Amino acid sequence: MTNTKSDTAFVEFERVQKSYDGENLVVKDLNLSMPKGEFLTMLGPSGSGKTTCLMMLAGFETATHGEIRLDGVSINHIPPHKRGIGMVFQNYALFPHMTVAENLSFPLEVRKMGKSIREEKVMRALSMVQMQDFAGRRPTQLSGGQQQRIALARALVFEPELVLMDEPLGALDKQLRETLQFEITHLAHELGITVVYVTHDQTEALTMSDRVAVFDDGRIQQLAPPDELYESPQNSFVAQFIGENNTLDGVVQEIKGNTCIVRLDSGDIIDAIPVNVSAVGDRTKVSIRPERVEFDKNRLKEGAHTLKAEVLEFIYMGDIFRTRLRVAGMDNFVIKSRNAPDQTRLVPGQQIEIGWLAQDCRALDA
């Protein structure tokens, strides 16, 4: 038993490592601390270690090294059924031989609660997810969305303070997924529970979470609120993984306070803010969001560097226009513009000049 590190931390990972085969680390030196009531999403490509972290927290995998604490108490050696953590699984894992009510009643039964209390709690949990009318059904008689609601209700029915969700919406169609994202976040905030949510869908991560931990290669690449993550990615992995992103390769030519000048491989010069480049001469990947690129000279700052571009393709997407350009010798530079009455529609073959505000252009690690 170790004493608490910080008073506000509810869930804490400290120097946690995990290896399955004794040769490769799936999770490398994970440090994470989250306060009570937070909705934290672990986001990352498959194989990045996010699910392993969740399983270690749930108790189904043991950490090879390091300590996991829940409410200040080390839970490394507590078996899963004593941790009192609710969990929603990817394929719902509703027991097929039990009715919906029996599924919900199961965690209460193993906690030896009386029948009347059980029934009351089951009905309350069902009404939380608007599924009161389905108590007598079997899971197989429900649609995917309904099953997911029941799985959620089952994870909440015994009133855990921490709920883990392992890609719970992965198998649902887009519309249902959006509805449920909304419902889950509302429910979590209403009940004040702490949620650790695992997904590989960045939209889901951005819309639902208080904070997002971006995983790659067994490490957290960045842990930040969604807006910060999108607008100020700390490295090129995060920049590329979150949202759409244009990348230009180059060398830092000059650093002046919080701006720098980058010479691209094509020889063009652009402005950027240095994020994790430290010295003149460093190679860098410059990242610009498509919607922050301007091609109307009047909107650009005086003296801003511009690049010549040729329009290759114009795609009408309804709310936005997506235009693919050839910039600095690269064919996959994308810009997005809002579909407004005064918006210019570019024509393939057209020669334009593009530019951006220096703060929207981030010079990241190469």
Partner 1 sequence: MTDTANSGPVLAADGRPLKASLNRALRRQKLRAMLLIAPLLIFIMITFVVPIGQMLFRSVENQIVSEVLPRTTQMLVEWDASSGEAPDNTFFAALTKDLMVAVEKKQHTRLGSRLNYETTGVSSLFRKSGRKVDDMGEGYTDQFVAFDPTWADPAFWADLMEAPSAAQALPQTTDAYNAFASTIMSEDDQDPRAEQPWHTVYLSLHQDLTADPAADFSGLPAEIAAAQAVAGGFAMDDLAAAYIDIDEDWGTVETWQTIQTYSSKFTNGYFLNAVDMQKSPDGAEWRPEDQQIYLTLFVRTMIMSMTITISCILLGYPVAWLLANLPMRQANLLMILVLLPFWTSLLVRTSAWKVLLQQQGVINDIVVWLGLVADDNRLALINNATGTIIAMTHILLPFMILPLYSVMKTIPPTYLRAAKSLGATNWTAFWRVYFPQSVPGIGAGSILVFILSIGYYITPEIVGGTKGVFISNRIAYHISSSLNWGLAAALGAILLAMVLLLYWAYDRIVGIDNVKLGG
Which residues here bind partner 1, judged by CB under 8 A? 58-60, 79-87, 89-91, 93, 95-97, 106-107, 110-111, 154-155, 158, 164
| Shortest Å, Cβ 85 to partner 1 | 6
| Shortest Å, Cβ 215 to partner 1 | 21
| Shortest Å, Cβ 360 to partner 1 | 44
Q: Give the residue with the Cβ less far from partner 1, 79 or 281.
A: 79
Q: Give the residue with the Cβ less far from partner 1, 155 or 328.
A: 155
Rounded-to-integer distance, Cα 23 and Cα 212, Å: 29
User: Which of 157, 82, 61, 152 is CA-nearest to residue 70?
Assistant: 82
Strand partners, 259: 256
The gap between the terminal CA atoms of the chain, to the nearest Å, is: 43
Q: Give the residue with the Cβ less far from partner 1, 79 or 349.
A: 79
Q: Give the residue with the Cβ less far from partner 1, 73 or 280.
A: 73
Who's near 157: CB < 8 A, 6+ residues apart? Answer: 104, 107, 108, 121, 122, 125
| Shortest Å, Cβ 269 to partner 1 | 55
Count Cα neighbours of 36 within 13 Å in the Cβ-side half-sphere: 10
| Shortest Å, Cβ 43 to partner 1 | 22
Rounded-to-integer distance, Cα 57 and Cα 13, Å: 9
161-194 CB burial, b ≥16 within 10 A, e <16:
bbbbbbbbbeebeeebbeebbebbbebbeeeebb
| Shortest Å, Cβ 14 to partner 1 | 23
Q: Give the residue with the Cβ less far from partner 1, 150 or 354.
A: 150
Asked if 277 and 252 touch (Cβ cutoff 8 Å), the reply is yes
Beta-strand pair 211-216/219-224 = antiparallel
| Shortest Å, Cβ 162 to partner 1 | 11
Residue 68 identity (one-letter amino acid): I
Q: Give the residue with the Cβ less far from partner 1, 113 or 251.
A: 113
Strand partners, 34: 11
Place of tokens 């919080």: 258
Q: Give the residue with the Cβ less far from partner 1, 10 or 158.
A: 158
